[in-house]
């Protein structure tokens, strides 16, 4: 059983408990455990089977939760969750996917209007019942309808990070099957899209039956939906569907190119082939039914006069023209990053101390970090007022002298308040090494007010960067209404950096916005927004986003040594 499966069970239980009105401390414990477990580097199943007592040492996991993890691993079931599913059905929990509908509002809909599914919710809104319910109103009802429409459009896609964990586990299992050669995931997962609708895995094998038998028995698989001689479709326990295709060695490159996509990219590639008297499909490149290429992707692209194109760029957004001109960028790599400028500690809502975060960052090869706990507006995260922040910075200075080999900057994630002012006075911000200005509240304000808030922050002489600029949560909260062009112009004019927040639920800026910022000469900083030591590993998702934007190491400021990086920070 994967860590992500166990974490998902705890998160699911927390949702149902909150809807049912359970003890908030108990709910918080499950949520914190879910977050920690999803990021934990060691296999919880292995720990539970070989060194059960180690579970208790995981931050946020006491004896009670450790016992539950052990039972889940042993029985592949979570009895408490099954009982809560009877009390709070799946359809009710699904309503949490609607932006603006938290557990309390969902509980009211369930209790007073007997709304038990998304279809029930739509009917209740259209009948006018939701607008009349206390705490809702016409504005909320309209927002729910918009959320339902967006949800229907996005379908049942899952976060890249969640899909990647499952795909990687299945690829690894297939690689260990005797007779299996090459194995890789294709599709939107390989292109590193923010969300994934289904999975494609390609393999070469001397015995397709053994590969498909292994997939059918894999613990992540819930049901085999279809099976032929060389293709198998399964549904995973997470709900994702996965296609396994076993292809000949001589077709592997062509199949990888074909099934990686995107559709728009492949249309142009096939048009170029036709112009050269060739035909390309998943089996290879053919001239008059004679195969001329297909073993590798490089061979496939070469037949149409192009170098190999990185999967992240295959969206028909100019990559083919750049490839033709020999101008494909040398995309940024995870190893290019030497600093992480956004992370939290136990001073607010993190799970690790300053020293623990610094040591973990050093272990990952980073040369510098900024500790950026929340400002006081984020009261639910125990945000810092001026006095507590200054004391916190003294602790950072103390740890600086205790941890060698890594520099620690004094930072703050400071809210841009609804009236356009900063959450902390300029006199306080002036003492920081690094100030991230963010939007957390008032996200439904009119566009003009959001513009004012962002531009005020950019003009503030102490602000270094705008963090997660659109404030979106993928699939759950849309971007705020604002003028991105105005933000770009102001950032360029005032020397402000913009963030790609690597949290897999944010990935904000998105790829198109990050490319636009690059084109304006605005330095990008990719940061994890880590709330635990394991969260530092989330940097890879920010790198994926940057690669989709076509960014090189020269476009990203935190690839620079610290002294060079600090020269890029705007000073008052």
CATH of the domain at 292: 3.30.210.10
Nearest to 80 by CA among 8, 4, 10, 19: 10
Looking at the structure, do residues 189 and 222 belong to the same domain, yes or no? yes
User: At 45, is the pLDDT very low, low, confident or very high (cuts 50, 70, 90)?
Assistant: confident
Looking at the structure, do residues 442 and 458 belong to the same domain, yes or no? yes
329 inside domain: no
Looking at the structure, do residues 380 and 483 belong to the same domain, yes or no? yes
The mean per-residue pLDDT over the stretch 190-194 comes to 97
The mean per-residue pLDDT over the stretch 170-179 comes to 96
What's the pTM value of the predicted model, to 2 decimals? 0.84
Collapsing DSSP states into helix, strand and coil, what is residue 221?
A: strand
pLDDT at residue 572 tops 80: no
Task: Considering only CA atoms, give the Rg of the chain.
Answer: 25
The mean per-residue pLDDT over the stretch 487-496 comes to 96
453 inside domain: yes
Looking at the structure, do residues 304 and 444 belong to the same domain, yes or no? no
Looking at the structure, do residues 441 and 521 belong to the same domain, yes or no? yes
Looking at the structure, do residues 85 and 180 belong to the same domain, yes or no? no
Tokens 């039972």: give the residue.
71
SS3 letters for 411-441? EEEEEECCCCCECCCHHHHCCCCEEEEECCC
Looking at the structure, do residues 197 and 345 belong to the same domain, yes or no? no
In angstroms, the CA 53 to CA 56 distance is: 6
Q: What's the pLDDT tens digit per position in 275-331?
A: 999 999 999 999 999 999 999 999 999 999 999 999 999 999 999 999 999 999 999
Looking at the structure, do residues 22 and 124 belong to the same domain, yes or no? yes
Q: What's the pLDDT tens digit per position in 422-467?
A: 999 999 999 999 999 999 999 989 999 999 999 999 999 999 999 9
Q: Phi first, then psi: give them for residue 111, nearest 5 degrees.
A: -75, -45
pLDDT at residue 156 tops 90: no
**Structural domains of the chain, count:** 4
Q: Which of 112, 138, 154 is the last residue of a domain?
A: 154
CA distances 205 to 187, 235, 511, Å, are 20, 22, 36
306 inside domain: yes
User: At 367, is the pLDDT very low, low, confident or very high (cuts 50, 70, 90)?
Assistant: very high
452 inside domain: yes
Q: What's the pLDDT tens digit per position in 237-268?
A: 888 999 999 999 999 999 999 999 999 999 99
In angstroms, the CA 45 to CA 230 distance is: 32
pLDDT at residue 414 tops 60: yes
Q: What mean pLDDT, rounded, does the chain reach?
A: 93
Q: What's the pLDDT tens digit per position in 50-105?
A: 877 888 888 878 888 998 999 998 888 899 999 999 999 999 998 888 877 888 89
Give percent of the chain with pLDDT exceeding 70: 99
Residue-number span of the structural domain to which 77 is assigned: 3-154
């Amino acid at each position: 059983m994967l860590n992500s499966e166990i974490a998902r069970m705890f998160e699911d239980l927390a949702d149902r408990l909150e809807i049912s009105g359970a003890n908030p401390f108990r709910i918080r414990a499950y949520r914190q455990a879910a977050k920690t477990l999803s990021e934990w580097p060691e296999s919880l199943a292995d720990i539970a089977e070989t060194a059960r007592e180690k579970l208790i040492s995981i931050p946020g996991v006491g004896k009670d939760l450790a016992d539950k993890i052990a039972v889940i691993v042993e029985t592949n079931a979570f009895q408490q969750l099954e009982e809560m599913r009877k009390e709070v059905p799946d359809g009710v929990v699904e309503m949490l996917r609607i932006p603006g509908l938290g557990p309390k509002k969902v509980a009211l809909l369930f209790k007073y209007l007997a709304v038990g599914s998304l279809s029930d919710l739509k009917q209740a809104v259209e009948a006018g019942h939701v607008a009349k319910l206390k705490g809702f109103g016409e504005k909320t009802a309209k927002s729910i309808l918009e959320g339902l429409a967006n949800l229907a459009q996005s379908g049942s896609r899952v976060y890249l990070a969640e899909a990647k964990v499952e795909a990687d586990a299945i690829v690894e299992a297939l690689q260990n099957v005797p007779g299996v050669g090459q194995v890789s995931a294709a599709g939107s997962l390989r292109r590193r899209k923010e969300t994934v609708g289904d999975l494609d895995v390609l393999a070469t094998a001397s015995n397709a039956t053994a590969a498909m038998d292994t997939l059918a028995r894999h613990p992540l698989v819930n049901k085999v939906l279809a099976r032929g001689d060389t293709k198998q479709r399964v549904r995973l326990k997470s709900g994702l569907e996965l296609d396994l295709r076993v292809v000949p060695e001589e077709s592997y490159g062509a199949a990888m190119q074909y099934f990686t996509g995107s559709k728009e990219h492949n249309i142009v590639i096939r048009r170029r082939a036709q112009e050269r008297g060739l035909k390309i499909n998943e089996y290879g490149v053919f001239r008059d039914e004679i195969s001329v290429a297909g073993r590798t992707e490089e061979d496939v692209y070469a037949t149409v006069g192009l170098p190999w194109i990185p999967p992240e760029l295959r969206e028909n957004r100019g990559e083919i023209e750049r490839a033709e001109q020999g101008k494909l960028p040398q995309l940024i790599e995870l190893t290019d990053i030497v600093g992480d400028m956004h992370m939290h500690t136990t001073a607010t809502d993190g799970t690790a101390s300053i020293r623990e975060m610094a040591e973990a960052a050093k272990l990952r090869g980073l040369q510098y970090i900024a500790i950026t706990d929340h400002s006081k507006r984020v009261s639910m995260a125990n945000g810092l007022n001026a006095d507590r922040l200054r004391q916190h910075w003294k602790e950072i200075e103390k740890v600086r002298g205790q941890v060698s080999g890594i520099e620690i900057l004094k930072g703050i994630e400071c809210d841009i308040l609804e009236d356009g002012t900063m959450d902390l006075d300029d006199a306080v911000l002036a003492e920081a090494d690094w100030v991230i200005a963010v939007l957390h509240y008032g996200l439904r304000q009119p566009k003009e007010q959001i513009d004012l808030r962002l531009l005020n922050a950019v003009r503030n002489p102490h602000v270094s960067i705008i963090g997660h600029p659109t404030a979106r949560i993928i699939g759950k909260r849309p971007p705020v209404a604002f003028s991105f062009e105005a933000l770009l112009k102001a950032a360029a004019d005032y020397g402000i950096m913009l963030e790609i927040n690597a949290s897999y639920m944010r990935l904000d800026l998105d790829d198109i916005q990050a490319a636009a910022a690059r084109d304006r000469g605005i330095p990008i900083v990719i940061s994890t927004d880590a709330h635990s030591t394991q969260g530092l590993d989330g940097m890879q998702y920010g790198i994926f986003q940057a690669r989709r934007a076509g960014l090189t190491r020269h476009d990203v400021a935190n690839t620079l040594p610290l002294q060079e990086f600090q020269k890029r920070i705007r000073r008052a």
